Structure 1
Amino acid sequence: MAPGRHLAQRLPLIVPVVPYQLFHEKDVTLVCIISAATGAALYACFYFAGIYFTLVEGFDAGKAGLQLLFYVPGIGVGVYTAIVMCNVYPRQTIWPLLIGTIVETGSIGALSWAIRARQRTAVNVLMGVAGFGTGIRFMPENLHLTGMYRDKIAVILSLLSFAGPFGGTIALTVMGSVFQNKMAAYFISSEGSSRFDVNSPTALNAISDLSLEDLERFRSAAANAISWSFISILPFLALSILAALMLGNVWICKDKKAMKATSPSDPTVNTDVALQDQTQSVQRDGRPDVLTGIYLYAVLRGTPASQRHLGPLEERLDRHEEKKDSRESASL
């Protein structure tokens, strides 16, 4: 189905849902990695923090679920911070992405320490900090790629919608494996029946019936296992920091720029012009400028202004307008 191949020529109206050529664009792959890391941290906190409060702190299911609400205010603060950074100052997408990635990775690392130390207050606070790192990246992830590739909005949003849950699934798989291995001495197996069956609804009651010495030993082992579960996803989150450092940038324009209106009945209207009408919501404040290289490297060299340019859709639209003006001038 690649352009120019046999099937693409025989079936010209059929296009792939996710064009492979899109992954040749550096920022698409990098933002997908960041989005996957966002999903990994989100799923990890909601699943394994609940396990911590249930097994280690001895909370019932309802109270353990309420503890997860500490994550939500952090998400809210992060979302509103992203709104300010993208709509007021500095109106760039790289900074909330970079800040959120660093904050989230650091908070998950600190959360693994707090769980092992069984510091309940620190766990609650760090969950809120991790929520901030998650929330501040929700909107900029979409804006960054839709600002760069406004002619592929549907594909971009579909990729990001897939990347988040995909990263969360990978995180839960890895963390679940680590947790099961660390707690193998306490979980039931085919060799013996004296251990706990974690799939049984009576398992928590059986744990609470342990003697004080055995219960303390079990809770210490559970805290250690959950801590290692969070540590196991830190390399993945560290990879997202590297991805954020290699991003380009999108400047969200503040001043509206007049665009020449093209009538739908105009025979010169092409696909790009039609896309221009469909993407007004993305460019409500004007046409965004982009830097497709490595923004931080450009800052170190002092060349971000010279590398800043319009996105590919805007450049094609400008060329279309220039050709149209040339034809009108020639006809006069």
Structure 2
Amino acid sequence: MLTHLTDQLSGSFNWIVAAYTLTFTTFVPASGQLADIYGRHFALQFEMFWITIGSVLCAAAQSWGMLLMGRALQGLGAAGIMNLSRIILSDGATLAENSRGNSILSLISGCRYASRYRYGVGPVVGGYLSEASWRYVFVLPVGVAVVAMLLIFFVMRDELVHGRVAATAGDSRRKNIISGLAIIDWPGLVMFILGVGLIILAVQWGGIQYSWSSAAVLASFIIGGFLCVAFFGYEYLLGPRRAVARTFPSQVPMIPSTLFRRKDTALLMMINFSAGISLVSAFYFISYYWQFAEGYSSSQAGIQLLYYTPGLGVGAYVALYLCNSWPRQTFSPLLIGSVVEGVGLALLTFFISVRNTTMVKVFLAVAGAGTGLRVMPVVLHAAGIWSTRISSMQSLLSFMLPLGETIGISVMGAVFSNKFSTLLSQIPNPGNGFSLPSSGIPSLDFLDSLPAGAKEEVENAAAKAVMWAFISVLPFVGFSIVASVFLGNVWIGEAGNERKHTKEDYDAEKGKVLYGVYLLALVKGGIASHKQDLEVNREVEGREKVVDVEAAHVDVARPIRTYEPVAGR
């Protein structure tokens, strides 16, 4: 689809992707706070509305600017959908129930993301639709979004958790909206969006539109970095009993600084960042390999992407078993998934360079299995580590996934474009009226019209360019393997209908957590001494003890009160 679109509207492939991922990435945490303040139903309808408007603009685009505006609005709307889905599944659920709900969500994600580039039917449907017209790819989400909005209103509305400003008897909608605006972390929101956005723009510009040492790139990096540091400083000062919190007592931090008190927060962020890069490499740049290096059409390239789907499915199913059946833990699927993903992408890179299409398909599936192994366990591990802050933690992790996608697209796009242009310039002029472009990506029609010898050289150049694009992001994948080694562990427990009736069995089947390094505790044999109840369970037990003590005082006091009048007679 991308090649058809860029040919017709004469724009850059990278900006089609970046316009979407820029808003998708920067607005994810805001969607979590929106759901917390105004409720899940309002947040879902808000997101679906902007997806609809953005899709309409894209389908009707008459200029490159109109298309990019539509893509940006699509990203704004889509920013909270997956995040809100995870949060809604966690509302009022135990860790075991959360595990089951996320298992179902992971298995049907292929259908839910048909309008986006993720795994499942999306690449195939998009490939066939784009052969008729790329506009049809954007018409499809409009109908899906409208149906979703109706289902949310008529089926889900009464079941969803209300927000902090939920309407009560006598309150007007306008009053609730205004009171909610006072709770939103406006300074943090602005600093976060501008800071992250400028850094993404710098990565997007570097090496393509501007040199890495140019003023535009350096200024974006410096200002964006300063705003990000200022954002985290502001969130810290917005904590309880701190300076900003005393000045703005109604405001709630978008990303509470307390989340970073535990090492697993940063480690899970790195793992989700790597997963975003893996998804981008599998769908955007493998597509470039099939089309430019192997000469496949858009529909054929879309079909080849389905080799990633069985891998994701196998990984998700294995994770489902490891979390729900045995050993009911999150550490093993996270570690195994990180290693499998890293090995799969490394070998995929090698076989791209030698143009072995069979092995490319095999290791595309292997990399998918590694990614699929981690999709659900990341959510459950975060819910166990921060069982009392699931919404904030989920928003943070949901931000890291598209951030990895955005950085991956920018870095891989810059490397691919530069390498491809360099390699094309080294190919002798094919003659016969043909002249290879000195820069940019040639159209598929142009490549098909080249003489056989020149076409073969261009295809080899494309394969090498894709290889270097993959090499550029492999270090991030390696970091995720290291991060998974230092994780703690979360024991899921069992769902409510499976719990036994004795106190001992109940205690054994509740969720448990180990905050330290699980592998280190395993080697030292100190798992039992480091394993703890989830924070949410400790809070519940604390409240139950208070109630028991109060009840005991009442039971003792009653005989005394009834006895005293008798004694006075």
Contact 2:348–2:363, Cα closer than 8 Å, also in 1 = yes
CA distance in 2, matches of 1:176, 1:235: 16
Counterpart of 1:4, as a letter, is R
1:289 aligns with 2:529: no
- The aligned runs of 1:196-275 (5 Å cut-off) are 198=440, 203-254=443-494, 256=499
CA distance in 1, matches of 2:396, 2:258: 13
1:184-208, Cα deviation, whole Å (9 max, x unpaired): 23669xxxx85166467xx212222
- Pick one of 277, 285, 292 that aligns with 1:55: 292
Residue 173 of structure 1 aligns to a residue whose secondary structure is helix
Counterpart of 2:512, as a letter, is D
Query: In the alignment, which residue of structure 2 is the partner of 1:317?
Result: 540
- Pick one of 195, 200, 203 that aligns with 2:437: 195
1:84-137, Cα deviation, whole Å (9 max, x unpaired): 100110100010111110000100000000100100011111111111111111
CA distance in 1, matches of 2:449, 2:439: 14
Query: Which one has the bigger helix percentage?
Result: 2
Query: In the alignment, which residue of structure 2 is the partner of 1:300?
Result: 523
Residue 37 of structure 1 aligns to a residue whose secondary structure is helix
Residues 298 and 287 (structure 1), Cα distance of their counterparts in 2 relative to 1, 3 Å cut: same
CA distance in 2, matches of 1:305, 1:90: 15
Contact 1:186–1:195, Cα closer than 8 Å, also in 2 = no
CA distance in 2, matches of 1:182, 1:155: 40
Query: In the alignment, which residue of structure 2 is the partner of 1:85?
Result: 322
1:264-317, Cα deviation, whole Å (9 max, x unpaired): xxxxxxxxxxxxxxxxxxx9x953100000000110111111100112222222
Shift of 1:66: 1.1
Contact 2:424–2:461, Cα closer than 8 Å, also in 1 = no
Counterpart of 1:109, as a letter, is A
Query: In the alignment, which residue of structure 2 is the partner of 1:278?
Result: none
- Pick one of 265, 269, 275 that aligns with 1:28: 265
Residue 250 of structure 1 aligns to a residue whose secondary structure is strand
CA distance in 2, matches of 1:171, 1:181: 15
Is 203-212 or 31-40 further displaced after alignment? 203-212
Contact 2:408–2:473, Cα closer than 8 Å, also in 1 = yes
CA distance in 1, matches of 2:300, 2:351: 19
CA distance in 2, matches of 1:40, 1:259: 47
Shift of 1:245: 0.3
Query: In the alignment, which residue of structure 2 is the partner of 1:4?
Result: 241
Residue 183 of structure 1 aligns to a residue whose secondary structure is helix
Residues 198 and 205 (structure 1), Cα distance of their counterparts in 2 relative to 1, 3 Å cut: farther
1:44-80, Cα deviation, whole Å (9 max, x unpaired): 1100110000011111111111110111111111111
1:183 aligns with 2:425: no
Shift of 1:319: 2.3
Query: In the alignment, which residue of structure 1 is the partner of 2:275?
Result: 38
TM-score (norm 2): 0.51
Residues 208 and 65 (structure 1), Cα distance of their counterparts in 2 relative to 1, 3 Å cut: same
1:104 aligns with 2:306: no
Query: In the alignment, which residue of structure 1 is the partner of 2:233?
Result: none
CA distance in 2, matches of 1:168, 1:117: 26
Query: Equivalent pairs: percent with the same residue?
Result: 39
- The aligned runs of 1:133-212 (5 Å cut-off) are 133-185=370-422, 194-195=436-437, 198=440, 203-212=443-452
Shift of 1:321: 2.2
CA distance in 1, matches of 2:501, 2:483: 35
Shift of 1:24: 2.0
The structure whose RCO (Cα within 8 Å, separation 6+) is larger is 1
1:326 aligns with 2:566: no
Counterpart of 1:11, as a letter, is F
Larger Rg: 2
Contact 1:186–1:196, Cα closer than 8 Å, also in 2 = no
Counterpart of 1:175, as a letter, is M
Is 178-187 or 72-81 further displaced after alignment? 178-187
TM-score (norm 1): 0.85
Shift of 1:238: 0.4
Shift of 1:320: 2.4
CA distance in 1, matches of 2:311, 2:327: 21
CA distance in 2, matches of 1:46, 1:220: 20
Residues 10 and 259 (structure 1), Cα distance of their counterparts in 2 relative to 1, 3 Å cut: farther
CA distance in 1, matches of 2:466, 2:261: 38
Is 10-19 or 230-239 further displaced after alignment? 10-19
Residues 300 and 259 (structure 1), Cα distance of their counterparts in 2 relative to 1, 3 Å cut: same
Contact 1:257–1:287, Cα closer than 8 Å, also in 2 = no
CA distance in 1, matches of 2:383, 2:478: 25
CA distance in 1, matches of 2:351, 2:389: 43
CA distance in 2, matches of 1:243, 1:225: 29
Residue 405 of structure 2 aligns to a residue whose secondary structure is helix
- Pick one of 101, 117, 123 that aligns with 2:354: 117
Aligned residues: 303
Q: After TM superposition, which residue ranges in structure 1, 4 or more long, deviate above 6 angstroms?
A: 257-260
The root-mean-square deviation of aligned C-alpha atoms, in Å, is 2.3
Residues 115 and 139 (structure 1), Cα distance of their counterparts in 2 relative to 1, 3 Å cut: same
